[in-house]
Amino acid sequence: MKHGHLWIGIGISLALVVYLFSRVDYGRLWGALTSVNLPLLAFASALLASTLALRSWRWHYILKPLKTVGFGNLVTATSIGMMANMIFPARLGEIVRAVVIGQRERIDTSASFATVIVERLLDGFTILFIFGVLLLVAPLPLDRTWARAMRWGGLLTLAFYLGVLGFLLCLHHARDRVLRGVQRLARVLPGRWVDGLVYFLSSFSDGLQTLGGRDFLPHLIITSLILWIAFGLYNFLVVLAFDLHLPLSVGFLLLVFQAFAVMIPSSPGFVGTYHAASVACLTLWGITAESALSVALVMHAGNFFITIAFGAGSLWVIGASLRDLLRRDSALKGTPTSAM
């Protein structure tokens, strides 16, 4: 069914939103929302805005084996891509990022898309590392059922990331062999499809050069940790802005819950799944449904509107539109047409 994935995601989001709002007293919810400490919330928002620069800084090292890219173009592409993730389904913003940086820096778009995939793997491994540290050193309010579910979720996610990493390493180190294998497995498909897939993977493999060296590995590890620590601190500061006296670990446990939640199909912007995960996490700490939902709403709103503001500003600066960037003839086709 055309757009079936989108409608399933919207259905899940709508069901979760209805469920969350059916469990709260609206007077108490409004009271919780209006009690927020605005100066502290502003500080948290400034920290969140800085993550766009941190993500761009890390991307600089991932792209460096391909080309040394100007920081301004990195911030522009990152801001526009993150905005597109908020308003389009299926993480189309990742393709938008690849298209923007490919066009502005004249990098093969498939290769730049590969660097985005490497970045997402770094995100996954970093969040799993933070989760492991939490389980080892932080007192978490997880009963046996929750602990078992979280551990299995973490292990399955780790297995998935390791599988993707294994395939990418094989593609990087033994490209010809992998491409021949793909041709054999896909021989039942129309020839032009197979040729297109092989061409894409061949170009894609050029963006995996970061996996072949250790020169930038320390930079990638450090920047990934700084980036996700900043996200965890943002969560904690928003919780603190509602005068909820919880330990620092709540911000990072929220991070883990949210990371699992955004893997579930949802409407654009991760509406519903993000909120349900945040509420579920906070209620483990004994927070009321009204306070938990108010924190989730403000936390998500800050993320949403800051991302949209920076993305829209970047689009205005380069004089482009998302429709242009998502045109069928622009996405992942190899060498970009021209610099913007």
d(CA 51, CA 49): 5
User: Which sequence spans correspond to the domains of the chain?
Assistant: 39-220+306-325
Angle at 210 between CA 205 and CA 212, to 5 degrees: 80
Neighbours of 155 (CB within 10 A): 11
Residue 151's pLDDT is 78
Return the structure tokens found at 180: 């021949």
Residue 238's pLDDT is 97
Tell if the pTM clears 0.85, that is, is over it. yes
Return the structure tokens found at 13: 């989001």
Residue 1's pLDDT is 43
Average pLDDT per run of 10 along the chain, which is 340 residues long? 71 94 94 94 96 95 89 94 88 88 87 90 92 84 78 84 87 84 80 80 81 79 95 97 93 93 87 95 93 96 95 89 65 40
Residue 168's pLDDT is 85
**Collapsing DSSP states into helix, strand and coil, what is residue 338?**
coil
Residue 181's pLDDT is 86
Could you report how far apart the first and last alpha carbons of the chain are, in Å? 36
